[in-house]
Amino acid sequence: VSLYRFLSLVAVLVAAPALPGIATRTRAFLTGRRGAPWLQLYRDLAKLWRRGVVYSRTTTVVFRLAPVVLVAATLVAATMLPLGGDRALFGFSGDLVAFAGLLALGRFALVLAALDTGSSFEGMGASREAMIGAFAEPALFLCFAVLVIASGRFDLGDMLGTSLITTSRTAPAALLAAAALFLLLLAETGRVPVDDPATHLELTMIHEVMVLDHSGPDLALILYAGALKMALIGSLVSATLLPRAGLAPPLGLLLLLGSLGLLAVIVGVVEAVMARLRLDRVPQLLVAASALAGFGMILLLR
């Protein structure tokens, strides 16, 4: 069983770079363009991996270490989620705090690396990323609080392994939490309506402008971590809506991968039908996510 959990983790790690590709392809299709192939990110990663690196003379070790810390933190966070079955590879009471802390560590490293370049554009991106992070944090914790209160369990594995959506007492709260988590997914992975991965003007970028100076394998690590983060938050949404407790081993994993693909398609649809929010409206979107989760909490505490 432990081997199965490990293999599920490996499967998610391998499949993650497909998700941004699926979203982008869906958006292109719906807006009447052909778009890049949905496996494009794999090619980009392979290409960047072979390339050399250019470091700015302004930068310090912070800039070189940041992509590594980002990927490492995201990888360790991945071990705490129940992916294929109802248990995680690794977990302990309160590991949801560690999960959020690891994602925050990655963000901290990336923001500092951006400021390390001394570029005004990257500083701008860093500032925006920090703002999004500040407002995303309470929403994430409220979602976790809803799931904890609904399930009575304190670690991610047990919590997400409980079938909350099929019990009438907890179902409304779980739905609200899943909706909030989906908004978080859009914000955390730099998608419309928060950020536009297709924009070409530095002044309007958030995530991309922050990594302008990264190149070669460093950039590959950052892109990969972004895709993995999408898979992780997607797994949270998926596990809340489609509990996999009691499914035979390969079925759970297939369900997860299928639902992640579907989520990526939905992200693409959102991108196709929505415009980006004005930047000072982004906090409102995230406050809305907090409010959704907060309502879920009120339903449970009632």
Q: Which residues contact 204 (CB under 8 A, 6 or more apart)?
A: 196, 276
Rounded CA-CA distance 242/22 in Å is 21
- Closest distance of CB 233 from another protein, Å: 16
As given in the structure block, the two tokens for residue 215 are 């190149």
Of 138, 172, 249, 261, the one binding another protein (CB under 8 A) is 138
CA distance 136 to 287: 8
Task: Decide: is 274 part of the binding site for another protein (CB under 8 A).
Answer: no
DSSP letter assigned to residue 243: -
Taking CB under 8 A as the criterion, the residue among 5, 25, 27, 128 binding another protein is 128
Binding status of residue 126 toward another protein by CB under 8 A: yes
The answer to whether residues 236 and 144 touch, using CB atoms and an 8 Å cutoff, is no
Half-sphere CA count of 294, side-chain side, radius 13 A: 8
Give CA–CA dist 271/159, Å, rounded.
31
Q: Is 280 in the site for another protein (CB under 8 A)?
A: yes
**Binding span for another protein by CB under 8 A among 7-15, 32-40, 145-153, 226-234:** 145-153
Q: State which of positions 147-176 bind another protein (CB under 8 A).
A: 148-149, 152, 154
Interacting residues of 35 by C-beta distance below 8 A, sequence separation 6+: 24, 25, 27, 28, 29
Interface with another protein by CB under 8 A: which range of 169-177, 217-225, 226-234, 264-272? 217-225
Q: Report the nearest approach of another protein to the CB of residue 277 (Å).
A: 13
Question: Which range touches another protein (CB under 8 A), out of 27-35, 38-46, 127-135, 170-178?
Answer: 127-135
Integer angstrom CA distances of residue 246 from 78, 87, 92, 163: 21, 11, 21, 10
Minimum distance from residue 243 beta carbon to another protein (Å): 19
Residue whose tokens read 């081997």:
3
Q: What's the rounded Cα separation, in Å, for the pair 142 and 144?
A: 5
Stretch that binds another protein, among 29-37, 50-58, 249-257, 258-266 (CB under 8 A): 50-58
Residue among 15, 36, 45, 72 that touches another protein (CB under 8 A) = 72
User: Could you say which residues in the range 102-121 bind another protein, by CB under 8 A?
Assistant: 102, 104-105, 107-108, 111-112, 114-121
Minimum Å gap between C-beta 100 and another protein is 8
Half-sphere exposure of 179 (CA within 13 A, CB side): 17
Shortest CB 195 distance to another protein, Å: 14
| Chain centre to alpha carbon of residue 255 | 19
CB of 290 to another protein, least distance (A): 6
Indicate which single residue of 140, 180, 210, 228 sits in contact with another protein (rule: CB under 8 A): 140
CA dihedral 178, 259, 81, 97 (to 10 degrees): -20
Minimum gap (Å) between residue 285 Cβ and another protein: 12
Q: Least Å distance between CB 273 and another protein? A: 26
Q: Which of 81, 213, 235, 268 binds another protein (CB under 8 A)?
A: 213
Q: Which of 1, 32, 57, 168 binds another protein (CB under 8 A)?
A: 57
Look up tokens 């909706």; give the residue: 179
